[in-house]
Amino acid sequence: MARAKRRLVVVSNRGPFRMQIVGGRKRPVRAAGGLVAALDPVLRARGGVWVSTGDGDLPKDLRIDGARLPYEIAQVKLTRSVAEGYYEGVSNAMLWPIMHSMAATVRMTGPAFEDYATANRAFCEAVLASSKDSDLIWVQDFHLMLLPAMLRAERRRAHIGWFCHIPWPGSDIFRVLPWREAILQGLLGADLIGFHTEGYAQNFLRCVNDLVPAVHVDFSRMQIRHGRRTVRVVVAPIGVPLDAIQTLAADPRVSAEVERIQQWVNNRRIILGVDRLDYTKGIEQRLLAFEQLLRSDRAARNRYVMVQIMVPSRTDVKAYADLKTRIDQRVGDINGRYASAGRIPIQYFYRNLPPPQLYAHYRAADVALVTPLRDGMNLVALEYVACRMQGGGVLVLSEFAGAAEYLEGALRVNPYDVHDMATTLKAALAMTADEQEPRMHRLRAEVHKLDVHRWADGYIAQLER
């Protein structure tokens, strides 16, 4: 008889559902994002529990679309002061910029690390209370880098994995953190550590080799000997739920929205940017490149329009509020100088569009401009390609996005070089349909290989072994 699959315990800062007022009633709503799209189906199939922060307001007998959720939800409740220190003080203000190789923007606040450790301990207690020794425990991302070792101390034979959804920097940058060794020791409690690219994985191995005493790092086998245990490091690029995206993108209502968008911009060719408000996304540099295109070609303002969709994020943090002010001013300045009657060069949305509207923009766009200064993978690039079922379209992609390692059909740019971006954008807009088709065909084949369900199944299979 085949052995039953182990239950899966997913641990992340944010959970798959939240309570929200809908139609005057408080109801559970599915959270957005690739992580939920990837792991919710896996948990539904094999059973288990999802551990995340929350207010404890989700009912134990959670029903989604009229059916009982076939896995458990465990919520970690943190005090307000601990939550602020853990999330804003360490995760956002220190770890996020360091991991994106932007050490100059770090704000060091030593006491906040105590809150980070306290929060990780609270997650540890919730996992122990919600799981069994035989379960697979899969910890997600940089918020919980102390958790694997905490769990290992309580369950020596547990199967524990950790996955990094953002970049991992070189050891010269990572060593800026005063508690660098504590973080690395925390991660070495895992059996399997995953990254999106070979470069990130090798950077991690180098950090362990340089900063942790009494370990042996095998760079070629991507293994770390830590005491009596061997920790494996794997490259496992995340993807998007391709079938689900294509089904929705092909909906007749989305097709109608595509036509409306094209009419709304007076049938100008569309350059699309979709980003969360963040200084790592390169939005300011992208606007400068588009301005350079308008300045160099007087007819460009009548032929092209940039549609920039920017999703609100961390609006109570001064650095993000200042960034939004600069972007608002830049958009206003460009539109003020280059607009003509009925033709505004930049259409700017500061809100989160629902998937049908977002996918309509992907289908309507002639060029997707995905130019982060640094990014773990960047799923916008994959989503754009997934929506281009009719072929055509050009993806202009930063060489500093993890996706650039896999999407060879994209036009790559250095987002720090505004002139390079403007030149490449002009070349993308000049591409004929015959030139676009084979590139997009290759991109779609690459995105098919990166399907998010394959990512989850492949990683879990390795953790189970």
Report which DSSP code applies to 405.
G
Instruction: Choose the catalytic residue: 40, 141, 278, 375.
Output: 375
Alpha-carbon distance 224 to 191, whole Å?
10
Paired strand residues for 25: 22
Burial of 73 (0-12, 13-18, 19+ CB in 10 A): buried
Residue corresponding to tokens 């009719």: 390
Q: What are phi and psi of 359, to 5 degrees?
A: -65, -30
Q: To 5 degrees, how large is the angle CA 49–CA 51–CA 56?
A: 110
Rounded to whole angstroms, the Cα distance separating 328 from 322 reads 10
Which member of 165, 196, 226, 361 is catalytic? 165
CA dihedral 49, 53, 58, 64 (to 10 degrees): -60
Which residues lie below 8 Å from residue 66, measured CB to CB, with a gap of 6+? none
CB atoms within 10 A of CB 64: 16
Calpha distance 384→395 (Å, rounded):
8
The dihedrals phi and psi of 246, each to the nearest 5 degrees, come to: -65, -35
CA 199 – CA 388 distance, rounded (Å): 29
SS3 137: strand
Task: Examine the residue annotation and report whether 191 is marked as an active-site residue of this protein.
Answer: no
Side-chain-facing half-sphere of 373: CA atoms under 13 Å: 17
Partners of residue 28 on adjacent β-strands: 19
Active-site residue 226, yes or no?
Answer: no
CA distance to 217, 355, 372, 411, per residue, from 203 (Å)? 12, 35, 20, 26
Please give the Cα distance from 188 to 162 (Å, whole number): 9
Torsion of CA 42, 45, 48, 53, to 10 degrees: 40
- Secondary structure (DSSP) of 293-355: HHHH-TTHHHHEEEEEEEE---TTSHHHHHHHHHHHHHHHHHHHHH-BTTB-SEEEE-S---H
| Residues with a known catalytic role | 165, 375
